[in-house]
Chain A
Amino acid sequence: KQEVTQIPAALSVPEGENLVLNCSFTDSAIYNLQWFRQDPGKGLTSLLLIQSSQREQTSGRLNASLDKSSGRSTLYIAASQPGDSATYLCAVPANYGQNFVFGPGTRLSVLP
């Protein structure tokens, strides 16, 4: 059964810092991994999708990497801004199924 964990659970940094969020999953037989952003009381916004054949995906100040064999992904945020404050979730498909298993998220606060 696929399980997803994320560390740290919460992170508070001053504006301008580069930071790394970590995601681990137990079953490496995945099609892809997706990172989402969730603002309080809101829906999930897709940030990046990495296919299993890719090692990295970039969008603006965000860079996500995937190491399938070790069951890990990282989300790198460069030059953080207060507007980046949110909860960041990673999700992977459950055992070749259609549904996604979510991690508990990392709650990020970027202080001005």
Chain B
Amino acid sequence: EPEVTQTPSHQVTQMGQEVILRCVPISNHLYFYWYRQILGQKVEFLVSFYNNEISEKSEIFDDQFSVERPDGSNFTLKIRSTKLEDSAMYFCASGLESGSGELFFGEGSRLTVL
């Protein structure tokens, strides 16, 4: 069964360092998302991406964050200068349709900022 894959599963970094989290969405999906979950808290929306551009983003997704789909298969989330409060599980998701469609999530990338 097709699945969303994410790498790395766990990354430890120093505050101020750049981090890139990678995702391979399901191949025929058109809509791509990043969510995050701080330990013990709700899953929160970060950004959605369609047709090679950001279609929606939350207040969390500030100038420190960026997304890219560099080669038609990978979907990346970059955090330019990590802060302690960026420590969280980051989930990539993809869907075939917008809004009315089912979302499929990856296993997540745990980011620990020291």
Q: Which A residues have a C-beta under 8 Å from some C-beta of B? A: 31-32, 34, 36, 41-46, 49, 51-52, 89, 91, 93-94, 96-105
**Whole-angstrom distance between the Cβ of B91 and the nearest chain A Cβ:** 6
8 A Cβ contacts from B21-77 to A: 31, 33, 35, 42-45, 48, 50, 55-56, 58
Beta-carbon contact of A36 and B105 below 8 Å: yes
Q: Which residues of B contact A98 (CB under 8 A)?
A: 31, 33, 48, 50, 55-56, 98-99
Q: Which B residues have a C-beta under 8 Å from some C-beta of A? A: 6, 31, 33, 35, 42-45, 48, 50, 55-56, 58, 89, 91, 93, 98-108, 110
Beta-carbon contact of B42 and A103 below 8 Å: yes
Which residue of chain A has the shortest Cβ distance to B97 in the bound complex?
A: A31
Q: Which residues of A contact B107 (CB under 8 A)?
A: 42-43
| Alpha-carbon gap, A100 to B89, bound state (A) | 17
Q: Which of B31, B43, B91 has the most CB of A within 10 A?
A: B43
Which residue of chain A has the shortest Cβ distance to B9 in the bound complex?
A: A41
Beta-carbon contact of B48 and A46 below 8 Å: no
| Alpha-carbon gap, A91 to B89, bound state (A) | 18
Q: Which residues of B contact A99 (CB under 8 A)?
A: 33, 45, 48, 56, 58
| Alpha-carbon gap, A60 to B36, bound state (A) | 30
| Alpha-carbon gap, A104 to B89, bound state (A) | 15
